[in-house]
Amino acid sequence: MAGPRVEVDGSIMEGGGQILRVSTALSCLLGLPLRVQKIRAGRSTPGLSSGAWQSKIKVLTGPQHLSGLEMIRDLCDGQLEGAEIGSTEITFTPEKIKGGIHTADTKTAGSVCLLMQVSMPCVLFAASSSELHLKGGTNAEMAPQIDYTVMVFKPIAEKFGFKFNCDIKTRGYYPKGGGEVIVRVSPVKQLNPINLTDRGYVTKIYGRAFVAGVLPFKVAKDMAAAAVRCIRKEIRDLYVNIQSVQEPKDQAFGNGNGIIIIAETSTGCLFAGSSLGKRGVNADKVGIEAAEMLLANLRHGGTVDEYLQDQLIVFMALANGVSRIKTGPVTLHAQTAIHFAEQIAKAKFIVKKSEDEEDASKDTYIIECQGIGMTNPNL
């Protein structure tokens, strides 16, 4: 099974957890032994972090690092060395990807969405269906919220020709975590390429403002109202439907508040803006931050928002054919994912300025990928 070991420099570009996620997932999929060195060398605390929030200035993205690596190891009965807190180098030797039930627990508010990001491509090429039990933060800082994963990532990712089910058992917030999500995935023979280049026009705007634990319901209503006011300044002709939700006591662990707002277009594109409450930040500000993020993502002319860019790269690299997505400015996370998809999977990417007339005045790009046509050896 094992080919030559792939050597990855963990300090370049994004220089954090994303390099680990992309490189270990591709190593697992392609059966290539991997060594990642200089992990998080550019961060305030180098080395693997458990997410003991060592630095307030640079919030570490770390609760999910170790559990993500361990999950990939378990998915394929691989061998993992150097995976401990503070380690700056890991080696990973994958074996065959197997289905079944797999559990990953960050033990903190580490993001279950990042655990899903690292494991999803792998289980698509497993021998049988998988059930992933992911524990940690569902609505955590520095990572997609679970609502984003379900409302935006899922419908777009399924265009590659797979289906998954995401069951939110319990929501968990910073700093305690305690959330649990169960993801069910059936394997595929191959992934289809996608072509997301026609943005269409916005037809709907909707969302969800939530409070959990001891926070008063008024906070949810205030976030929603402030967000609606902000959006109305720019988009006057659409009804903005943001629901205010008090999370049921038995379905949420700890205290939290936040909001996600989605814009849907005539061609099925989805864009989001979201924000989480923090101690001492008033509700209006949280709502406005999410609204402004959504509006910014609607200005650039792309077909995906800035958070979806990098999440699609690995699927594009594996697909059987040419995929194209239109984006706003290409994020560092997307550039990092492209770099390692080229280095490890040998997919070919071209990033160029969009030549469409309506994009002339905007910062709009096309990311094109000739996928490797990965085939599931088990099916």
Distance CA 322, CA 336 (A): 20
- Would you state the structure tokens that stand for residue 153, as one six-digit string? 């990532």
What number of other Cβ atoms are within 10 A of residue 33's Cβ? 17
- Strands (DSSP E) contained in the chain are 6-9, 34-37, 79-81, 90-93, 100-105, 130-136, 164-172, 179-185, 195-196, 202-212, 240-246, 252-253, 256-265, 270-276, 322-327, 348-353, 365-370
Distance CA 138, CA 49 (A): 19
Distance CA 274, CA 376 (A): 36
Q: Is 309 annotated as a binding residue?
A: yes
The DSSP output letter for 127 is S
Q: Is 206 annotated as a binding residue?
A: no
Catalytic residue among 65, 300, 333, 339: 333
Residue type at position 159? K
Please confirm, yes or no, whether 333 is among the known catalytic residues: yes
Q: Is 64 annotated as a binding residue?
A: no
Distances (CA, A) of 89 to 8, 11, 219: 10, 11, 44
In the chain, % helix, strand, coil (3-state, to 5) comes to 30, 30, 40
Q: Is 307 annotated as a binding residue?
A: yes
Direct distance between the N- and C-terminal alpha carbons of the chain, in angstroms, rounded to an integer: 17
Q: Is 311 annotated as a binding residue?
A: yes
Distance CA 235, CA 238 (A): 7
Q: Which residues line the annotated binding site?
A: 117, 307-311
Q: Which amino acids are annotated catalytic?
A: 333
Q: Which residues line the annotated binding site for ATP?
A: 117, 307-311
